[in-house]
Structure 1
Amino acid sequence: MTDSNVSERLITSRVVEAAIWGIPGVNSQAMLEAFTTAVGGGPNQLLFWPRPSDWTNQSLTPNTDALYLMPFYDTSETGPLVLEIPPADDGSIVGSVMDLWQTPLDEVGPAGRDAGQGGKYLLTPPGYKDTIPEGYLLLPSETFQGYALLRSIPASNSAADLDAAVAYMKRVRLYPLATDADGPSADAPFVDGTGVIFDSTIPYDLRFFQSLDRIVQKEPWIDRDRRMIDLLASIGIRKGQPFAPNREHAERLLAGLADAREWLDQQYESFSPFFPGTHWFLPGDPDLMRSWAVSWGDPDHYPADARGVIYYWGFSSLKHAGTGGHQLYTFTTRDNNGDPLHGADSHTLAVPPNVPAAQYWSVTAYDRATHALIREVPVASRSSLESGLAAADDGTVTIYFAPTAPDGFEGNWIPTRPDKDFELIFRFYGVEKAVGDGTWALPDVQTAGARS
């Protein structure tokens, strides 16, 4: 006799697999939806922040020291699009261009294909066969939609230098190839995201599957993903048909999504320590980096699980990992005792002197549940760019994490919320070899106060 629950268990397992596979696309769509509904922008426009982000930028683990520029593209109606990057003369742009699945097409700027000389990157739609005009840097995309994550690098955090970095950022252009001769009149508009709650966190509810359905309806199937056609159809997502789950099926979808989220969370917590004997880790996978480098062209590897883990907590990717500005990010969710970092406690991080970061270092606190900046806190990060950061005589800089500021060290304080667990990212820019050769190490976070 056939077990009547076999079909239900099979569907639940397929929901889990679909969620892990689909999360990079849902992640991309969440950013575009936030740009469209909250900021008032849309496809083939450029979202930017003229000042470092505060908590209203609810994207996944944003860098609060950077000036972000995000061109969102859609070639389905325009045909090929030109993303024009200015030469690195009065400023510098670093970043990468990605398709809908956040597969990197290439880096731009000094660490990219134009090598700081500037250039016209040509984004072509799936299956594009026309002759490519001379003078363009080709970026063939397997999806109609995608985006670029670009950072304009200021010389310092002074108002004048930030203004100069914004002016340089606005030299980036996005326009259809067909209008190249029209000049600036054809350019996509810049849309300012300042002060708007830009919430692109992953929606772990029915919106997750609605987003996945929109992708299936609009985008062509990529050969590597053809096995997902029947799998998605079995859970109600089929090209050319409406996605309309009844209540019972919706409950099954949500149960499977909850299992997928729990699995992703476990994987995120399971990485080996980067600094021996600590809880700092790098949530990356070498097979995934290699797959990005060859645009998933290795027939023996498709690390979709590792990709799911990355886009559960962040966004963006690099085709040439290690060259995109030579940055390194280390993460922690726990203190020296292995306990979760809780916002009601008082914590300290003693950053040793001579941090091996030629440009600068920073440490940023995020909400552990959402991987976004902690809502409604005035300061999310501290960095070596700040002139008011206090240091001990030997150069050690102690950063404080607590609901209230420590007396005399307000400039070294990152506020937390008593009702939230949090996580930290320590970023190295211009990373130097001492980070990885054992001659310099970041210690664990210490918990100094009892939970109230």
Structure 2
Amino acid sequence: MAIDGAPGAGLTKEQLAEEVTHLSTPDLLKTPFGDLEFFDGVPRAESVQSIYDALDLLRGIDAFLTAVPGASLVAMRRGLRTAGVTSPDIIGFTDPRANSGGLYLTPNTETTYGTTFLDLKAWGPTVIEAPPQSLCVIDDFWFRYVTDMGIPGPDRGAGGKYLFLPPGYDGERPDGYYTFESPTYANWVVLRTLGGVPAMKQTRIYPLAEADAPRENTFVNIADVLQNTVHANDFTFFEEIAQLVAEEPVSALDPERAGTLAAVGIAHGTPFAPDDRLRGILDDAARIGAAIARALVYRPRDPEAFFWEGNSWKNAFVGGSYEFLQGGARNLDARTQFHYFATVITPAMAHAQVGAGSAYAYTAEDADGHVLEGSSTYSLRIPADAPAKNFWSVDLYDTQTRSLLQSTPYPALSSLGGEVHAEEDGSHVVWFGPAAPAGRESNWIPTIPGKAFFPMFRLYGPLESWFDKTWRLPEIQKEA
């Protein structure tokens, strides 16, 4: 560029011609979508539809990977409704704990869960009285964090009244509540109490308008109710997202993500009615998107997804941010990785602290890098002095559904109760296989021949040696 009116040297004709080659499209462009033909940069008529089919496929794949968090909660609400949790004042719980009958993304078998969905559109401002000594979370319908309640929340485990306001609320905000405004009308409530079911039944959820005489809540044991709370991996996925977008205000999404969805026909106030061409493309997009998500979960390429160099044990929360932010940018792969196989967003999970919360590691591979498969027998040695203030556990999951493996109601072992046999050096050897090794029945979790699986190792109250990596899980060994 010339400065102060002085002429620049410019380019030679040869240099300018070279520049044109860099900004031009050839008359025949070979792509994964087929050969595309142009005349001097203008698409030929016979290639135009192929180009737009390619664009719609790319937009669809991007929409799938971007919208997995929302689809996950649409499926969660649908599944809970089939189990009878149809209103905010109906709270489903798992007594004594979650089992492998229903399809849930990686629940543990050590915790009694409680759950419901707020409906701020129907109820308006809504109150939750959190039980004392609890660990509770509220996430909005796009699976974004709203607040913790209980021990990690502002009541610090003493119990307290929380007021949730709908998007754009401009009414009264009474004193005496921890008050939060959610970007969405639907909000997922997750309840965990240290006092078990009796403590959970101290929870109260009611409209603010009934604060002087709150309604009674109904508690439904959903532990043994067969239900599917996992989102689809075909065209149906986009119908799930269309439902979410239709229900929630335009302000619930940023323009970029809203634009990605609008590009495939999903927009607020507009019926989602793709023609047969687009429907077929979106079905392909969902299946390809799911394939990418599975690679991110089981075979991630980000080195930060692994706990230890040269070891296959993986971290579900890459980067340690519950918003998946790194250096001011959203880590899109990390967000998809987490939401494709896990649930609940809270800073307490993303960034565990010494002696508090929980830490997680998972793998779908043995020491040789082969996929874990239920016809074979494997062993995992958990070294002595496992860094858990409270206890450790191992749960097995189905690689297709990412739900508890249906080889037994409780496909898990833990250090609670002392039932798992310890070796002389203080380590524990856990076995996975279709039959228990002789004399090791107490340390065995059954698998299903012909079906892949993956274990998740949890530490409740992780200690310093977990964080400084001086304690390390070895690889899973396939037995001869």
> CA deviation digits over 1:167-211, x for unaligned, max 9?
11110111111101113xx14422220211121122112221111
| Matched letter for residue 280 of structure 1 | W
Match of 1:316 among 344, 360, 371: 344
Contact 1:356 1:433 in 2 (8 A): yes
2: CA distance, partners of 1:96 / 1:241: 32
Question: Which amino acid in the other structure matches residue 221 of structure 1?
Answer: V
Contact 2:101 2:409 in 1 (8 A): no
Partner in structure 2 of residue 50 of structure 1:
95
Identity %: 30
What pairs with 1:276-315 in structure 2 (closer than 5 Å)? 276-286=309-319, 288-289=321-322, 291=323, 300-315=328-343
Q: Which runs of 5+ in 2 are unaligned?
A: 1-37
1:245-266: CA deviation from partner (whole Å, max 9, x where unpaired): 3333221111111111122122
Give the one of 141, 164, 174 matched to 1:123: 164
For residue 335 of structure 2, what is the amino acid of its counterpart? R
Partner of 1:259: 288
Counterpart for residue 142 of structure 1: 183
Measured in 2, the distance between the counterparts of 1:389 and 1:376 equals 19
Q: 2-side partners of 1:65 and 1:236: how far apart? A: 42
1:31 to 68, 76, 84: 76
8 A Cα contact 1:96 1:149, kept in partner: yes
1 or 2 for the larger relative contact order (CA 8 Å, sep ≥6)?
1
Q: Distance in 1 between matches of 2:165 and 2:183?
A: 9
Question: Which stretch of the first structure deviates more once superposed, 429-438 or 376-385?
Answer: 376-385
Alignment correspondent of 2:388: 357
CA distance in 2, matches of 1:141, 1:301: 23
RMSD: 2.0
When the two structures are aligned, how many residues end up with a matched partner?
Answer: 427
Letter in 1 for 2:141: L
Moved more, 219-228 or 246-255: 219-228
Amino acid at match of 1:350: R
1:85 Cα deviation after fit: 0.9
Query: Residue in 1 aligned with 2:226?
Result: 197
TM-score scaled by length of structure 2: 0.85
Instruction: Indicate conservation of the 8 Å contact 2:68/2:339, yes or no.
Output: yes
The residue type paired with residue 170 of structure 2 is K
Cα deviation, residue 381, structure 1: 0.6
The TM-score, its normalising length taken from structure 1, stands at: 0.90
Q: How does 1:20-419 map to 2 (within 5 A)?
A: 20-37=65-82, 39-44=83-88, 45-87=90-132, 92-153=133-194, 165-183=196-214, 186-222=215-251, 225-268=254-297, 269-270=299-300, 271-272=302-303, 273-286=306-319, 288-289=321-322, 291=323, 300-320=328-348, 321-322=350-351, 325-419=356-450
Q: Any idea what the Cα deviations from partners look like across 1:46-78, whole Å, max 9, x if unmatched? A: 111121211113110001110001121111011
The answer to whether the 8 A contact 1:106-1:319 is kept is no
Q: Is the 8 A contact 1:378 1:415 kept in 2?
A: no
Distance 1:73 1:437 in 2: 40
- 2-side partners of 1:199 and 1:407: how far apart? 36
CA separation in 2, counterparts of 1:61 and 1:42? 23
Structure 1 residue identity aligned to 2:345: S
Q: Is the 8 A contact 1:85 1:108 kept in 2?
A: yes
CA shift digits 1:408-427 (9 cap, x unpaired): 11111111111211111100
Shift of 1:123: 1.0
Query: How has the CA–CA distance of structure 1 residues 223 and 72 changed in structure 2, closer, same or farther, with 3 Å as cutoff?
Result: closer
CA distance in 1, matches of 2:247, 2:428: 51
CA distance in structure 1 between the partners assigned to 2:342 and 2:234 by the alignment: 19
- Among 460, 463, 466, the alignment partner of 1:435 is 466
Contact 1:16 1:260 in 2 (8 A): yes
How far has the Cα of 1:231 moved from its partner? 3.2
Give me the whole-angstrom Cα distance separating, in 1, the residues matched to 2:243 and 2:262.
Answer: 14
Give the residue type in structure 1 aligned to 2:265.
Answer: G
How far apart are 1:94 and its partner, in Å? 0.9
C-alpha contact 1:32 1:43 (8 A) present in aligned 2: no
Conserved? CA contact 1:288–1:307, under 8 Å: no
* Post-superposition offset of 1:242: 2.3
TM-superposed CA distance for 1:323, in Å, is 5.3
Contact 2:129 2:159 in 1 (8 A): yes
- Corresponding residue SS for 2:329: coil
- Please say if residues 321 and 347 of structure 2, whose CA atoms lie closer than 8 Å, have aligned partners that are also in contact: no
* 1:349 shift after superposition: 0.4
**Partners in 1 of 2:250 and 2:319 — Cα distance?**
26
Structure 2 residue matching 1:213: 3-state secondary structure = helix
Per-residue deviation, 1:308: 2.1
Taking the aligned partners of 1:136 and 1:348, their CA distance within structure 2 comes to 51
| Displacement after TM superposition at 1:42 (Å) | 1.3
Counterparts of 2:130 and 2:252, CA distance in 1: 31
SS in 1 for 2:423: coil
- Residue 444 of structure 1 aligns with an amino acid whose one-letter code is E
**Secondary structure at 2:154 match in 1:** coil
The superposition leaves residues 213-240 of structure 1 with CA deviations (integer Å, 9 ceiling, x where unpaired) of 1111110123752233443233222322
The structure having more radius of gyration, on CA atoms, is: 2
